[in-house]
Structure 1
Amino acid sequence: MKKIISFLLRNIPRKYLQLVSHHALAVLAIFYKGNKVECPVCGSRFRVFLPYGRESRSNALCPSCLSLERHRLIWLYLKEKTDFFTADQKMLHVAPELCFMDKFEALPNTDYITADIESPLAKVKMDIHEIPFEENTFDVVFCNHVLEHVDDDQLAMREMLRVLKPGGWGILQIPLFHPIPEKTFEDLTITSPKEREQMFGQDDHVRLFGKDYPERLRSQGFIVKQEKLVFELPEEDVKRYGLPSDEIIYRVEKPA
């Protein structure tokens, strides 16, 4: 299974996987039923989560809703540390994750807009370098595992800051590869997929983020809070929910 999933991720464009993967995995989920792990996003229980990743990780993907470790952690953070599920809000979700879309769409308190440059599932076709909304439009912005793909991450940050209302907040996650460099490395002259994978960790990445990521966000005007929920949870919960062991949630806010 690891080899199959790794092959599909490396060879089929994301926009096509988004259209069909959840249907195929819904069938596979039947064979993984159990009670050793539980997805907090959809409530499904399994004997183990599926492997996932181009360099495949064990116990990662929920076969029911397609949540990964980071998604399950974000969901718990939203439930335990925010008023996300109750506050009236207008939300922009950039490159929306399948595991969240139906859940967020159904929230009666949320005016929910999805946007992506290529996803067939998003409501708005959008280049994050030029967000087609007026300033001070949104209360919440989510943009996870996007900034490593775009030509100018700092312009994208400024655009998200612009469309947030004063006091608005967001979650802007990025991948970090160990050992994490002190400073972010980027070089747009590197265009070979093979060399990009070697330098940036994945063949469609254009930068390797470092420990300076919070400062990059602050330099564009955000207040940054590094939320460490996974370090606060009991070990049995981390295992039960299949959470990343060391992921920090980067919560950003626009100054009021």
Structure 2
Amino acid sequence: MKHLFKWVLKRVPRPLLIRLSYWVRPILASSLKGDRYTDPIDGKSFRTFLPYGYESPRENVLSPSTLSLERHRLLWLYLKRETDFFQKPHSVLHFAPEQAFYKRFRSAKNLNYTTTDLNSPLADVKADICNLPFDSNAFDIILCNHVLEHIPEDHQALQELYRVMKPGGWGIFQVPQDLNREKTFEDPSITDKEERRKVFGQYDHVRIYGRDYFDILKAAGFRVHPIDYTKDMDPSDTDRFRLAQGEIIPLVEKPLEG
């Protein structure tokens, strides 16, 4: 099954994968039941998770039930344990909504929840992140995770994110980040999909963010709080939830005006 799953990931377009996954998830979840690993998003446990990755698949990282990855489970734990995301009224803008979150956020009665993307079938509003059709200062919270590495004009995208976030609002903008790399690397001349796979790790990525990603966020006007949420977590929980030790949550805030 794992070999078949890897084959599908490499050959089926992502929008179609999203649609197909609704049929496949129950089969995967039933066949891999166990008690070794737990998905904190739905509380279900399995003997193993699935592999995931386009260029170099990571073993035991994709939850069979929610299809969450390490970053999704980390974000869920942070939102549940450390924020009022699920408690207080919030207007939320969610870019490229992940399946693991979509229905749960949509059904949360405290959230005024809007999704957006150019291609996702889960998007309420089809929009270019560099030219958003929303009013300025419109959203309390913005989630934009693993999106910016796909955007050639990421500085323009960040300006738009800053514009539509309310003063005093906050967001989480996760990206694939190489913390061993001081500077972000990009080369606009690389347009071939195969070459992008080799250089950036995925055919539709246009850069590799380094440690200066936090400075890039600050340059857009945000206050930035890099959070190493696994740092003080019990190692047994990190393993049980299949989290990536040391992965940083980039929490941003838009300063209050005046």
Range into which the TM-score falls when normalised by the shorter chain: over 0.9
Alignment match, 1:49: 49
The answer on whether the counterparts of 1:177 and 1:201 sit within 8 Å (CA) in structure 2 is no
- Distance in 1, matches of 2:25 and 2:84, equals 32
- Distance in 2, matches of 1:132 and 1:221, equals 20
Deviations 1:62-100 (A, max 9, x none): 111111111000000011111111111000000000000
The answer on whether the counterparts of 1:185 and 1:209 sit within 8 Å (CA) in structure 2 is yes
Q: Structure 1 residues 177, 211: CA separation in 2 closer, same or farther (over 3 Å shift)? A: closer
Larger mean CA deviation between 190-199 and 158-167 belongs to 190-199
> Matches of residues 75-224 of structure 1 in structure 2 within 5 Å?
75-177=76-178, 180-224=180-224
- Distance in 1, matches of 2:71 and 2:138, equals 27
Give the CA deviation at 1:228.
1.2
Match of 2:114, SS? strand
Match of 2:142, SS? strand
Alignment match, 1:69: 70
- Distance in 1, matches of 2:8 and 2:128, equals 26
Q: CA RMSD in A?
A: 1.1
Match of 1:203, SS? coil
Give the CA deviation at 1:177.
4.1
Alignment match, 2:61: 60
- Distance in 1, matches of 2:68 and 2:78, equals 14
- Distance in 1, matches of 2:204 and 2:3, equals 20
Give the CA deviation at 1:2.
3.7
The answer on whether the counterparts of 1:228 and 1:249 sit within 8 Å (CA) in structure 2 is yes
Match of 1:121, SS? coil
- Aligned residue identity for 1:159: E
- Distance in 2, matches of 1:239 and 1:95, equals 27
Give the CA deviation at 1:182.
1.1
Please give the TM-score of this superposition, normalised by the length of structure 2. 0.96
- Aligned residue identity for 2:207: R
- Aligned residue identity for 1:114: T
Deviations 1:31-81 (A, max 9, x none): 111111111111111111111112211111111111111100000001111
The answer on whether the counterparts of 1:22 and 1:64 sit within 8 Å (CA) in structure 2 is no
Q: Which runs of 5+ in 2 are unaligned?
A: none
How many matched pairs?
A: 255
Alignment of 1:234 onto 2:228: no
Please give the TM-score of this superposition, normalised by the length of structure 1. 0.97
Match of 1:6, SS? helix
Larger mean CA deviation between 161-170 and 16-25 belongs to 16-25
Q: Which runs of 5+ in 1 are unaligned?
A: none
Match of 1:10, SS? helix
- Distance in 2, matches of 1:149 and 1:3, equals 27
Match of 1:231, SS? coil
- Distance in 2, matches of 1:46 and 1:199, equals 34
The answer on whether the counterparts of 2:178 and 2:211 sit within 8 Å (CA) in structure 1 is no
Give the CA deviation at 1:239.
0.9
- Distance in 1, matches of 2:205 and 2:170, equals 25
Give the CA deviation at 1:203.
1.3
Alignment match, 2:13: 13
- Distance in 1, matches of 2:199 and 2:51, equals 24
Give the CA deviation at 1:6.
2.5
Alignment match, 1:249: 249
- Distance in 2, matches of 1:52 and 1:74, equals 18
Give the CA deviation at 1:12.
1.2
- Distance in 2, matches of 1:31 and 1:95, equals 29
Give aligned-pair identity as a percent: 47
Larger mean CA deviation between 166-175 and 58-67 belongs to 58-67
The answer on whether the counterparts of 2:229 and 2:246 sit within 8 Å (CA) in structure 1 is no
